[in-house]
C-alpha cells in the first residue's frame, strides 16, 4: 500500500529516507522529474503542469497519497492543484506546513486563529521560485502574527549539490547567508526551504552561528505523514512495491543518487 514521493530531482530523497526510517514497512514510490530539473527557475504555470504530470504518474503506481517533497512545487503548484485539479479520492500534501507548525509550536490540524509566537525573526533560504511565490509567508500568516520573515533566494545551490560539488555548494551557502544577514543581522530561526539543503545543513549552521536554530524538513515531514496516515488510513494506496522512477537517464540518475545519499539506489525509467 504505497505512498508516492515526488520531487523535481534528487532533493526529495532526503524526505523519503526520513519517512522510510520512521515507517520501514510502508512501500514508497519515488519519482524524480530529473529531465526537467531544476524547477526553481521555472514559471508557475510550467511548475504546475510538470507537477501534475508527475503526480498522475505516481497515481498509476497505486499511490493515492503523494507527498510533494519539493518546496518549489509545494509553493508554486500545490494550492492551485488542491483547488482546481485534484480528484476527491486523491490527496497531495506539501512540505511547508509541517515546518511552519514546528516553528509556531502548533499541532497538525490545529485550525485555531493565528497567535503570537516566541520566534519573531525568521530567515528563509529557498529557491528563487519558492521565494517569489511567498507561499511560506502566506502559510505562516494563517498560524502566527508578528513574525518578520526575511527570504533569501539561493541560486546555484541545488545545481552544485546535484553535481556533487560540495566545495561550491558550501561557498554558495556562505555567500547567501552573508547576504541575508546584511538585511536581518540577528535571526532567531532559519528555515531550509528546499529538500536539497539538509545535505549542506552544517554549512548553513556554521554561517549563521550557534545561536540560530535551523529547521530542516525531512524528519518533520515524516512525523506529520505518520500522524496523517494514522488518522486517514484509507489514503494509503493500493501499490505494494517500493520503486525509484525518473524522467531522466536511469543510469546517470542512479549514479548521482548513490553519490547524493551515500548508499546504492537504482532508478528505473518513468
Write the secondary structure of 119-162 as one string of H (helix), E (strand) and C (coil): CCEEEEEECHHHHHHCHHHHHHHCCEECCEEEEEECCCHHHHHH
Local confidence pLDDT in tens for the 270 residues of the chain = 799 999 999 999 999 999 999 999 999 999 999 999 888 889 999 999 999 999 999 999 999 999 999 999 998 899 999 999 999 999 999 998 888 888 888 765 677 889 899 999 999 999 988 899 999 998 898 889 999 999 999 999 988 988 889 999 999 999 999 999 999 999 999 999 999 999 999 999 999 999 999 998 999 999 999 999 999 998 888 888 899 999 999 999 999 999 889 899 999 999
Round to whole Å and give the CA distance between 147 and 197: 23
pLDDT at site 105: 83
Ramachandran angles phi, psi of 109, nearest 5°: 80, 5
Contact at 8 Å (CB) between 173 and 145? Answer: no
70 in catalytic set:
yes
Q: Residue 222 and residue 43: Cα distance in Å, rounded?
A: 28
- Per the CB < 8 A criterion, the answer to whether 14 and 221 are in contact is no
For the chain, what are the domain ranges? 3-94+218-269, 97-216
User: Domain 3-94+218-269 carries which CATH code?
Assistant: 3.40.50.1860
Domain topology for 97-216: Rossmann fold (3.40.50)
Q: Which of 52, 63, 154, 194 is catalytic?
A: 194
Binding residues for substrate: 7-8, 39-40, 71-72, 195-196
SS3 171: helix
Q: Where are the beta strands (DSSP E) in the chain?
A: 3-7, 28-32, 65-68, 91-93, 115-116, 121-126, 144-145, 148-153, 189-193, 213-215, 243-246, 268-269
Nearest residue to 128 via CA among 166, 157, 87: 157
d(CA 54, CA 33): 7
CA separation for the pair 205, 177 (Å, rounded): 10
Pair 41, 154: CB distance under 8 Å: no
194 is catalytic: yes
Amino acid at each position: 500500500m504505497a505512498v508516492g514521493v515526488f520531487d523535481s530531482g534528487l532533493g526529495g530523497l532526503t524526505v523519503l529516507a526520513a519517512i522510510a526510517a520512521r515507517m520501514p514497512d510502508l512501500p514508497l514510490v519515488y519519482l524524480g522529474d530529473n529531465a526537467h530539473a531544476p524547477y526553481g527557475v521555472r514559471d508557475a504555470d510550467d511548475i504546475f503542469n510538470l507537477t501534475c504530470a508527475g503526480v498522475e504518474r505516481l497515481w498509476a503506481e497505486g499511490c493515492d497519497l503523494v507527498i510533494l517533497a519539493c518546496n518549489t512545487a509545494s509553493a508554486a503548484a500545490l494550492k492551485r492543484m488542491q483547488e482546481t485539479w485534484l480528484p476527491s479520492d486523491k490527496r497531495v500534501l506539501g512540505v511547508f506546513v509541517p515546518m511552519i507548525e514546528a516553528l509556531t509550536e502548533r499541532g497538525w490540524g490545529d485550525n485555531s486563529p493565528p497567535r503570537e509566537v516566541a520566534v519573531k525573526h525568521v530567515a528563509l533560504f529557498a529557491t528563487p521560485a519558492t521565494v517569489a511565490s511567498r507561499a511560506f509567508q502566506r502559510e505562516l500568516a494563517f498560524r502566527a502574527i508578528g513574525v518578520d520573515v526575511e527570504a533569501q533566494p539561493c541560486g546555484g545551490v541545488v545545481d552544485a549539490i546535484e553535481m556533487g560539488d560540495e566545495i561550491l555548494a558550501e561557498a554558495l551557502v556562505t555567500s547567501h547567508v552573508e547576504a541575508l544577514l546584511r538585511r536581518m543581522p540577528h535571526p532567531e530561526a532559519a528555515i531550509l526551504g528546499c529538500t536539497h539543503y539538509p545535505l549542506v545543513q552544517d554549512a548553513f549552521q556554521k554561517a549563521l552561528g550557534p545561536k540560530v536554530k535551523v529547521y530542516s524538513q525531512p524528519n518533520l515531514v515524516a512525523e506529520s505523514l505518520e500522524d496523517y496516515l494514522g488518522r486517514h488510513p484509507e489514503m494509503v494506496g493500493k501499490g505494494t512495491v517500493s520503486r525509484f522512477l525518473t524522467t531522466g537517464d536511469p543510469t546517470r540518475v542512479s549514479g548521482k543518487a548513490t553519490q547524493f545519499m551515500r548508499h546504492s539506489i537504482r532508478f528505473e525509467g518513468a
